[in-house]
Every structure is written in C-alpha cells, then in structure tokens.
C-alpha cells in the first residue's frame, strides 16, 4: 500500500490474467496501464482492464458491516465484532439443529487463492461440511472434469506461447474477441503474420471471433459432440491419425474410434446444421496442421453434455498427437480471473486443496493430518454444488449460507428460484464490495470487502501462471480483505488458533505445502520469486528454476498407466429440447465491455456506451416471420417464466437461435433478467448448468 507511486497488479476480470501497473496519487488509484514486462500480456489491456480505476470510488461501495434480523427490516450499522458475532450465532444455531451440512458457503472465481484456501479450510476442515462451492461451477468444471478423466489430473496443458506457434486454431463455443480480448489480439497477430495459419470457429453466432475464421461452422446449439466426433471420423477416413502417438502414449482408442465412425460428415451434417464439406474441410485443416490448438470456453462447458464436449475436443488432440509440443494442445480458457486458483485450493464442493478429492479417503486423511484436525472431520459426503446448493436452501435442508464475492441471484440459472430460496434462509451473509446488488438485497448480514487494488494475494490465470496482486491503496471505510473476514468468522466459530495468520503471504506458504509432490507442485514458488518473475507456471517443485510452460512434453501422463485416456462420447440432446410450444433455442453470453453482473463495469460510462441496455439478437428470417422489428420489444418465454427485451435483428444469428447477454439482472429490471427463464439442468458429472440452451418461445409485444 502506497501514498504515491506505482505498484504491479493483475486484472480482476477475465482469466487472461493481464499484468497491470497501477498508478497511485494521494492514496487513490489514478490510472491503470498494461505491464510491459508481464509474461501473459506484455503491456496489452482491453478497455475493461484499462478503465479499472473507475470502479473503486463508486457511491455504492459497501463501507461498514450491517445486519438485520429479517428481510422486512432495514439494515442497521454495527461494528465488525457485532456483525461477525451475529453471523456466527446463526450459523451455530443451524449446525446445532441440523448438523454441519445445514450450512453452506458459496464463493467466486474473483476470490484470491489464499481466500479460497481459507474458505475451504474452515468449511471442510473445521465445520465439517463439503457444502462449499463457487460460481466457477458455472464456468469451467466441465473442463476440469474432462482433463481429470483424460489425463489423470486437472489442468490445461498449454501456454499462451502456443498461440504464437499454432498453425490451425479450432475455437469452439468461445467468443474470444469479447471475452479474452488480449488473447484474441494474439491470435489475430499469428494469423496476420503467417498466410498458412487457419482458424476454424464453431459457434451458432457469427461473432467477431468468427469473423476472422477461414471456416465458420455455425452449428445448432448443443450439437458439438456430434460435430467433433464427425471431425474425428473424417480424420480417420483421410488416414491422418497419428498412430505412433496413439500407440505409444494413449489408451482407449478402440472404443473412441468405434463411436466416432458412426458420425461421418454426411450422417451428421443435416442434424447439426452445417455442410458435410465444411466439416471435412475443418477436420483436414485440423489434422494436417503442423500444430493444432483447440481453444474453448463456456459454449462447450455450460451444457448438460459439457464434459462430453470437452472429452471430444481432447480426443481430437490425442488422435492427431496435438499435445505437449509448441502450438498444439487442448486448451480450455477459464472465464474468471482466479477460477484456476479455486481448482488448486479445493474451492469446489468435490475438491480439497492440492487437486485432492473429497471422495478419496486417502486425500481426506492427508488433509486432516495437514490441518491437525481429528480423523473423519472431513466428511465423505459430497458437498452441494451451485444449483444443488440453492435448491437445498429452498427446501430448508440448508438454513445458513455465506456468499462471498459473487452475485448468484443475478448469475445463477432459474433466478426466481434462487431468490426465493434465499428468502427462506435463517441467515444469508453476503461479503461484497458493493451494495445493493441483486444478492445483497436478500442478505441479513452485509460485510464490506476490499476490492482488487485494496488487498494482496495470488491468482492463477488460464495458462497456470500464478501471479501476485499487490495492495495499491487502503480499502474505503471499514472494508477488509476477504481472508481477514474468514479468519474473524473462524475465530468466532471457535477455531481462532488455526486461522491466526499474520499476513496473506503466510497463508500462501501454508497452502503451497498442500501441493507438495502433486501434479501442481508449487513448493518452489514464493512471493519473492513470483514478484521478480511477474508470475510462474506450475508445477514448480522446490529446487527447480522457472515454471513449467507446457505439460506432458515427455508424453507421460499422470494416470496409473502413464498413458492419456481416450473417452468415447456420444451425442445427447439438451435436457430441455425445443418443441412446438417452445420452438426457439436461447443461448446466453456476454458483451465485450461488460463483466458478469455489472457490479463494476456497469458504472463506467465508457463501457456502458456501446451496449447501454439489455437486448435480444434474432435472425432477419425469424424476425420477418414473427413480425418483429428492429428495436421493438419482444417477449421471450420458457417453461419457467418470461422476460421482455428489445430486439436486435442481425444476420449474425442463425434462424431458430436467439442470443441474450446475461449482464442485466433484476436491479436493472426484473422484466429483463434473462436468467429467470434459463434452465437449471446440469451436466451429470461436472454439475455445470446448461446456460447455453433453453427452449423458448418469442413474440412481439
């Protein structure tokens, strides 16, 4: 923390993890610029990052703790001790009545790794419930599960430098131009600098990302597994599989081959809505590339077939030997700035620190020993994942919930049910930097949290790079760093000794020991080394110099056989397919200048200017058919509810598909909150909800 000068930090929006230089004048952040020396962005920033100074001193900053006994009462200002005591007494009452699983903790990919670690240590190691999940469940758990199934452990094998060496990009379900703009610039540069580079984009919308594609496959939403199997079938037919790699480094090829063969381009083309010849062109461009890099995000992950889509992408990479070498690999781009840190620190309902699993008795014992808690303190019962958690609150199976750094009433699918569930809870504690948000409005306890430049800690970006965010300025009012709030609460719950940290670095030093000898070993990292390098990629065990750019370069995978696993996958329709009553497919997403639920970017005039209000995109064909005119209001209804939005008629949409950005929630207007109509169905393995496919009807108002 400084009064005047500059400090290095990391952007708190997307998982690109751009390094920042923060200029401070008289104790306030005056400006932000890209850090030229940062190994992930080399000085580049998008507009969201460049305007970060404008999200700090807003009139809705939450400045001091507040409580109320019930939702019909106004909040009253209290001291920190009173607020924490209030929360602790209600959590204790819930636990006394219903046991540890009657409470739950819901975090965020915005939390720093140290915050995540403490949140989980308290919930799983001391309170004894695995009901700790995060909004990252909505983001990348499908990718995390698929990596585990294919490689034995979680973690993207690639590095951003692979973008500079790839010959063919297969971008699926990812509008990188809007959602990871700095990485998109790097892809454009690679394409501009080499005439032979090919870009294949799979997206039902003709997004700005698809605009640079050599082959744009505008598939019907939800059909990616059929497409990817079909590409594999065509690669086999063309004799382009890498048999030497398959023989030496993989297992399970036979079943995958048998499954894929049923998906020839001719067979699937009509069903998925693209030409067979285009599928073949894409398959050959991928397989003939010297190095092919697949990149994907929510279009693959947020689906009831999310894990299968990820596995199908990994199958393609394995079949063509596109892994472990420059420019090649299956690269899942995480969405949030520290979704990776949450995976590392055990921030999900099924995980423990150091990529351990709550389902594994040995992992539970290791963590009990590490934390010095009695045997069987960590429950063997799987915790509630995001959608399950809010369902359980609505059913009063969970009566006390702690929500940190996220706004689930706005971001969760089936939002009316989520809001209704919180209204029934005995206590809702919300730890946030702003009030009101859609979620703080339903809280009993409001705890003011520090923002990105007001606290220190580490985050891991999409290329496994761990970076330190320095504290630039003091937090306003009585706001505190998240880790300190968790420590206060832990003390009030009777576990003060185990949470008596002098500073955030001490938490990192403890956390990194949980990674010793594991796939993500970080024991060779320290704040000092991370600061000096601008960030290091795991694994980095003690004694080694420099991080690990690329995983599996030696062709050895951390499975029991040392081989990567093919996983045969089959196309499954969406959980709630279209029918005569709901004949359109609604897909949700983002716009370039807004971030999630707009608690920050919604206050920056320059970011709001491009898209000042919510809208729905519809194809000219459908608009004509339904008499819908540009800019006019339409009503969109699903099996849950209906919303009203202004129509944007655009030929970037394929007929039968509608698109709504999810940023504008009920604080803007209940009538436009698209998550009210989105289905809460989720993938059976990853439990990631199907935010990219909802059957709806649409008509003009």
Instruction: Note if 605 is an active site residue.
Output: no
State the catalytic residue, choosing from 48, 121, 124, 692.
48
| 383-430-52-666 Cα dihedral, nearest 10 degrees | 90
Positive or negative: CA dihedral 554, 560, 566, 570: negative
State the catalytic residue, choosing from 11, 140, 493, 522.
140
Comparison of 181 and 273: residue with beta carbon closer to ligand SF4:
181
How far CA 357 is from CA of 34, 38, 118, 136, in Å, comes to 37, 33, 17, 17
State the catalytic residue, choosing from 139, 389, 522, 525.
139
Of the candidate residues 6, 9, 16, 480, the single one contacting ligand SF4 (CB under 6 A): 16
Instruction: Note if 149 is an active site residue.
Output: no
Binding flag, residue 295, ligand SF4 (CB under 6 A)? no
Residue 657 CB neighbours (<10 A): 22
Q: How far apart are CA 516 and CA 421, in angstroms?
A: 40
Instruction: Note if 140 is an active site residue.
Output: yes
Q: How far apart are CA 183 and CA 187, in angstroms?
A: 6
Minimum Å gap between C-beta 40 and ligand SF4 is 8
Binding flag, residue 452, ligand SF4 (CB under 6 A)? no
Supply 354's token pair: 């150091």
Give yes or no for a contact between 4 and 24, defined as CB atoms under 8 angstroms apart.
yes
Stretch of 40-48, 88-96, 285-293, 639-647 contacting ligand SF4, by CB under 6 A: 40-48
Stretch of 146-154, 175-183, 227-235, 260-268 contacting ligand SF4, by CB under 6 A: 175-183
Supply 411's token pair: 């971001």
Binding flag, residue 596, ligand SF4 (CB under 6 A)? no
Stretch of 10-18, 473-481, 544-552, 659-667 contacting ligand SF4, by CB under 6 A: 10-18
Minimum Å gap between C-beta 479 and ligand SF4 is 22
Stretch of 38-46, 169-177, 548-556, 638-646 contacting ligand SF4, by CB under 6 A: 38-46
Minimum Å gap between C-beta 594 and ligand SF4 is 11
DSSP strand pairing (356-357 vs 351-352): antiparallel
**Residue (of 207, 211, 202, 212) closest to 278 by Cα position:** 202
Binding flag, residue 14, ligand SF4 (CB under 6 A)? yes
Binding flag, residue 49, ligand SF4 (CB under 6 A)? yes
Place of tokens 């995060």: 134
Q: How far apart are CA 645 and CA 614, in angstroms?
A: 7
Comparison of 16 and 110: residue with beta carbon closer to ligand SF4:
16
How many CA atoms lie less than 13 Å away from 665 in the CB half-sphere?
29
Q: One symbol per residue from 70 to 99: x for binding ligand SF4 (CB under 6 A), - otherwise; what is it?
A: ------------------------------
Of the candidate residues 6, 7, 8, 18, the single one contacting ligand SF4 (CB under 6 A): 18
Q: How far apart are CA 152 and CA 159, in angstroms?
A: 19
Q: One symbol per residue from 177 to 206: x for binding ligand SF4 (CB under 6 A), - otherwise; what is it?
A: ---xxx------------------------
Minimum Å gap between C-beta 14 and ligand SF4 is 3
Minimum Å gap between C-beta 672 and ligand SF4 is 24
Comparison of 287 and 459: residue with beta carbon closer to ligand SF4:
459
Instruction: Note if 48 is an active site residue.
Output: yes
Sheet holding 19-25, edge to edge: 5-10, 19-25, 28-34
Instruction: Note if 346 is an active site residue.
Output: no
Of the candidate residues 6, 8, 9, 13, the single one contacting ligand SF4 (CB under 6 A): 13
Comparison of 35 and 308: residue with beta carbon closer to ligand SF4:
35
DSSP 617: E
Task: Kindly tell me the burial class for residue 369, based on how many C-beta atoms sit within 10 Å of its own C-beta (0-12, 13-18, 19 or more).
Answer: exposed
Tell how far CA 116 is from the center of its chain: 14
Minimum Å gap between C-beta 17 and ligand SF4 is 6
Comparison of 435 and 596: residue with beta carbon closer to ligand SF4:
596
Supply 348's token pair: 């999900």
Instruction: Note if 594 is an active site residue.
Output: no
| Number of residues counted as binding ligand SF4 (CB under 6 A) | 14
Minimum Å gap between C-beta 457 and ligand SF4 is 16
| 331 bridge partner residues | 295
Range 573-577, long-range pairs (CB < 8 A, 24+ positions) = 573/222, 574/221, 574/222, 574/303, 574/304, 574/305, 574/681, 574/690, 574/693, 574/695, 575/304, 575/679, 575/681, 575/690, 575/693, 576/639, 576/679, 576/681, 576/690, 576/693, 576/694, 576/695, 577/695
Residues of the chain by 3-state class (helix, strand, coil), percent to 5? 35, 20, 45
Q: Which residue is at the shortest CB distance from ligand SF4? A: 49
Comparison of 50 and 279: residue with beta carbon closer to ligand SF4:
50
| 588 bridge partner residues | 660
Tell how far CA 203 is from the center of its chain: 19
Binding flag, residue 46, ligand SF4 (CB under 6 A)? yes
Comparison of 363 and 465: residue with beta carbon closer to ligand SF4:
465
Stretch of 14-22, 67-75, 133-141, 305-313 contacting ligand SF4, by CB under 6 A: 14-22
State the catalytic residue, choosing from 11, 298, 522, 653.
298
Comparison of 41 and 135: residue with beta carbon closer to ligand SF4:
41
Minimum Å gap between C-beta 10 and ligand SF4 is 8
Known catalytic residues? Answer: 48, 139-140, 298, 335-336
Give residues in contact with ligand SF4 (CB under 6 A): 11, 13-14, 16-18, 41, 45-46, 48-49, 180-182
């Amino acid at each position: 923390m400084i009064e005047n000068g500059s400090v290095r930090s990391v952007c708190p929006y997307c998982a690109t993890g751009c390094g920042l230089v923060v200029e401070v004048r008289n104790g306030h952040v005056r400006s932000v610029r890209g850090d030229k020396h940062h190994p992930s962005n080399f000085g580049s920033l998008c507009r969201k990052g460049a305007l970060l100074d404008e999200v700090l001193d807003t009139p809705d900053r939450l400045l001091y703790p507040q409580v109320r006994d019930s939702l019909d009462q106004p909040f009253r200002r209290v001291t920190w001790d009173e607020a924490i005591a209030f929360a602790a007494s209600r959590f204790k009452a819930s636990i006394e009545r219903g046991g540890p699983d009657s409470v739950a903790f819901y975090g965020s990919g915005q939390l720093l790794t140290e915050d995540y670690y403490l949140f989980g240590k308290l919930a799983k190691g001391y309170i004894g419930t695995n009901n700790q999940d995060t909004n990252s469940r909505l983001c990348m758990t499908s990718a995390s599960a698929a990596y585990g199934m294919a490689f034995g452990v979680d973690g993207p094998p690639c590095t951003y430098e692979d973008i500079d060496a790839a010959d063919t990009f297969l971008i699926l379900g990812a509008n990188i131009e809007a959602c990871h703009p700095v990485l998109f610039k790097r892809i454009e540069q690679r394409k501009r600098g080499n005439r032979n580079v090919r870009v294949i984009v799979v997206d039902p919308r003709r997004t700005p990302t698809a605009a640079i594609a050599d082959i744009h496959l505008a598939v019907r939403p939800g059909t990616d597994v059929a497409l990817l199997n079909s590409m594999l079938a065509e690669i086999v037919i063309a004799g382009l599989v890498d048999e030497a790699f398959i023989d030496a480094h993989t297992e399970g090829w036979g079943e995958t081959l048998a499954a894929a063969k049923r998906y020839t381009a001719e067979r699937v083309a009509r069903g998925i809505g693209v030409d067979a010849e285009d599928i073949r062109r894409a398959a050959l461009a991928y397989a003939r590339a010297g190095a092919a890099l697949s990149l994907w995000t929510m279009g693959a992950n947020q689906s009831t077939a999310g894990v299968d889509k990820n596995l199908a992408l990994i199958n393609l990479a394995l079949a063509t030997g596109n892994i472990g070498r420059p420019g090649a690999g299956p690269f899942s781009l995480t969405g949030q700035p520290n979704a990776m840190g949450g995976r590392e620190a055990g921030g999900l309902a099924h995980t423990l620190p150091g990529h351990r699993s709550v389902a594994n008795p040995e992992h539970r014992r290791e963590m009990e020993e590490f934390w010095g808690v009695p045997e069987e303190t960590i429950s063997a019962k799987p915790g509630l994942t995001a959608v399950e958690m809010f369902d359980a609150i609505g059913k009063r199976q969970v009566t006390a919930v702690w929500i940190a750094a996220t706004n689930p009433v706005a971001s969760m699918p089936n939002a009316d049910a989520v809001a209704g569930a919180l209204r029934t809870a005995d206590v809702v504690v919300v730890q946030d930097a702003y009030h009101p948000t859609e979620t703080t409005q339903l809280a009993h306890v409001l705890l003011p949290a520090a923002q990105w430049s007001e606290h220190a800690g580490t985050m891991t970006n999409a290329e496994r790079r761990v970076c330190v965010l320095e504290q630039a300025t003091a937090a306003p009012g009585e706001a505190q760093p998240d880790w300190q709030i968790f420590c206060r609460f832990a003390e009030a719950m009777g576990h003060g000794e185990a949470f008596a940290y002098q500073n955030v670095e001490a938490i990192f030093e403890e956390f990194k020991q949980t990674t010793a000898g594991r796939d993500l070993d970080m024991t060779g990292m320290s704040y000092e080394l991370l600061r000096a390098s601008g960030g290091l990629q795991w694994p980095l065990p003690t004694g080694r110099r420099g991080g690990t750019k690329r995983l599996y370069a030696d062709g050895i995978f951390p499975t029991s056989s040392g081989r990567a696993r093919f996983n045969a996958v089959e196309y499954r329709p969406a959980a709630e397919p279209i029918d005569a009553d709901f004949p359109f497919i609604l897909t949700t997403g983002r716009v370039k200048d807004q971030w999630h639920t707009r608690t920050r970017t919604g206050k920056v005039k320059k970011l709001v200017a491009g898209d000042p209000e919510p809208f729905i995109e519809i194809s000219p064909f459908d608009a004509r058919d339904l008499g819908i005119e540009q800019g006019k209001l339409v009503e969109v209804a699903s099996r849950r509810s209906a919303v009203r939005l202004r129509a944007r008629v655009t030929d970037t949409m394929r007929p039968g598909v509608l698109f709504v950005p999810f940023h504008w929630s009920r604080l803007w207007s209940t009538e436009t909150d698209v998550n009210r109509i989105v289905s809460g169905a989720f993938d059976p393995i990853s439990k990631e909800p199907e935010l990219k496919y909802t059957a709806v009807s649409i008509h003009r108002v």
